[in-house]
Amino acid sequence: MRRKTVCCVAVMLAVMIAACGTAERQAEQTASGLEAMQETAQESMRDGMPEPEPQQTPGSGAERVDHSRDDMISAGDKEPEITLVMVGDMLMHTPVTESGKQEDGSYEYSHLFTYTKERIEEADLALVNQEVILGGEKLGLSGYPSFNAPYELGDALAEAGFDVVLHATNHTLDKGVRGVENCLDYWEEEHPDMAVLGIQRSAEEQDEIYVYEQEGIRIAILNYTYGTNGIPVPEDEPWLVSLLDEDQVREDLAKADEEADFVIVCPHWGTEYVHEETETQRRWAGLFLECGADLCIGTHPHVIEPMEWLEGEDGERMLVYYSLGNYVNCTSSQGEGVADRMLGALATVTVARNAQGEVYIKDYGAEPLVTYVSADEKDISVYPMELFTDEMVQNSVTRRKDPAFSVEYCEELWREVFGE
């Protein structure tokens, strides 16, 4: 990751006027409900699988979904811009946790990012939805239904190039207040440059708006969850987890709109294993738009859902990714639909400032990712779709759990959700 110092502006503009009177501008680059539903997701080192051969089928519909607005760029101009990526749920079922266990008893998780690290690092700003709390081994590592992951997962996230980790999920309180405190202690002590959103130590911290700044563009990011699986947030620590509370959301968005040029909301919302957004998701998205948000990237359903532009009565616009699905998972469930959970999306967004000073979404898209789990569940990694092969399908446990799983199946599902 080309690391940038958050909230530190480094904008260099030089205006050169040629004899013919033509002005050329250059900018140097310096280097983001209310439904309480229950989690039903269930509970890997390489076993000699051959290196995957690149696989691309032009026109298959599983290539990158890409939309640009180059018409806003004048010939010869170069706009200041920030590239952003985000992945979905880091869902640490027991086999995923065990896949990182070393002979000496320690844990290491770089294998989860071997084939996606370059894509993450090359972005200016990378976000990840950390579905489960990093409470550490002392609290007992565990999978479904009450998750807890080792600190070493956080080390791998930082090494992979992520800048922002989102912790407001329905599993935030799986290990109680101590789990949240351990997680915050870990990030502060081991990776102080990582922006940690969705969990806080105080009301003062909750009131702070995280703003990333680069190229003179200020981006605010907010993170909320619809609930915590019925585990009550402590009455004396209501700020511990950021919930989708309408008054709080409106207040936060008003502040973010004042402090930043561009506002991103990352809600944990929706219905699990459903590929279409719910009415509740649409209502919240409308509220975000009404309050000035420019981009919404959702998580929680564990399967991909569509993306679309929403437009307000006054012409304001917001791009919504309703669900990115899972980044990684190893469900113990079997039968129809399990294959759906192995397909996730990497959101790609470029934010730019045009000649009129307006900050807008210059380019956006989504790239398909597939979780590979070997037959013995010891080798687990995430692959871009073009690197995922039929040979890998045949050597995967997912094929045994859901016979429909195949490269063609994933491509067709991608087309069904995101269109041609």
In a domain, 174, yes or no: yes
Q: What is the rounded distance in angstroms from the CA atom of residue 41 to the CA atom of residue 89?
A: 12
In a domain, 315, yes or no: yes
In a domain, 57, yes or no: no
In a domain, 3, yes or no: no
Per-residue pLDDT of 316-330, as tens digits, reads 999 999 999 999 999
Model confidence at 91, pLDDT cuts 50, 70, 90, reads: very high
Whether 305 shows a pLDDT value over 70: the answer reads yes
pLDDT of res. 35: 41
In a domain, 52, yes or no: no
Tally of structural domains, the chain:
1
Q: What is the mean pLDDT of residues 38-67?
A: 40
Model confidence at 57, pLDDT cuts 50, 70, 90, reads: very low
Least confident of 41-50, 61-70, 210-219, 336-345: 41-50
pLDDT of res. 211: 98
SS3 253: helix
Q: How buried is residue 280: exposed, middle or buried, by Cβ count under 10 Å (0-12/13-18/19+)?
A: middle
pLDDT of res. 78: 85
Whether 45 shows a pLDDT value over 50: the answer reads no
Strand partners, 368: 345
SS3 243: strand
Whether 58 shows a pLDDT value over 80: the answer reads no
Q: What is the mean pLDDT of residues 232-242?
A: 97
- Residue linked to tokens 């890998």: 392
In a domain, 279, yes or no: yes
Per-residue pLDDT of 361-381, as tens digits, reads 999 999 999 999 999 999 999
Q: What is the rounded distance in angstroms from the CA atom of residue 251 to the CA atom of residue 239?
A: 14
Q: What is the mean pLDDT of residues 4-21?
A: 35
Q: Please measure the distance between the N-terminal and C-terminal CA atoms of the chain and give it in whole angstroms.
A: 31
Whether 56 shows a pLDDT value over 80: the answer reads no
How are beta strands 359-373 and 343-353 bridged, if at all? antiparallel
- Residue linked to tokens 């983001």: 32
Model confidence at 420, pLDDT cuts 50, 70, 90, reads: confident
Q: Angle at the Cα of 369 (from 365 to 374), degrees rounded to 5?
A: 180
pLDDT of res. 22: 37
In a domain, 1, yes or no: no
Q: What is the mean pLDDT of residues 168-189?
A: 98
pLDDT of res. 46: 37
Model confidence at 20, pLDDT cuts 50, 70, 90, reads: very low
Structure-token pair, residue 53: 């051969």
Element (H, E) at 128: strand 125-129
Q: What is the rounded distance in angstroms from the CA atom of residue 11 to the CA atom of residue 259?
A: 18
Mean pLDDT, the chain, rounded, equals 87
Which CATH number is 81's domain given?
3.60.21.10
Q: What is the mean pLDDT of residues 171-192?
A: 98
pLDDT of res. 77: 67
Range of the domain at 135: 13-46+63-418
Instruction: Give pTM, 2 decimals.
Output: 0.83
Q: How buried is residue 250: exposed, middle or buried, by Cβ count under 10 Å (0-12/13-18/19+)?
A: middle
Whether 69 shows a pLDDT value over 90: the answer reads no
Per-residue pLDDT of 112-162, as tens digits, reads 999 999 999 999 999 999 999 999 999 999 999 999 999 999 999 999 999
Whether 9 shows a pLDDT value over 80: the answer reads no
In a domain, 51, yes or no: no
Q: What is the mean pLDDT of residues 165-175?
A: 98
Structure-token pair, residue 39: 């989690």
Q: What is the rounded distance in angstroms from the CA atom of residue 420 to the CA atom of residue 414?
A: 9
Whether 44 shows a pLDDT value over 60: the answer reads no
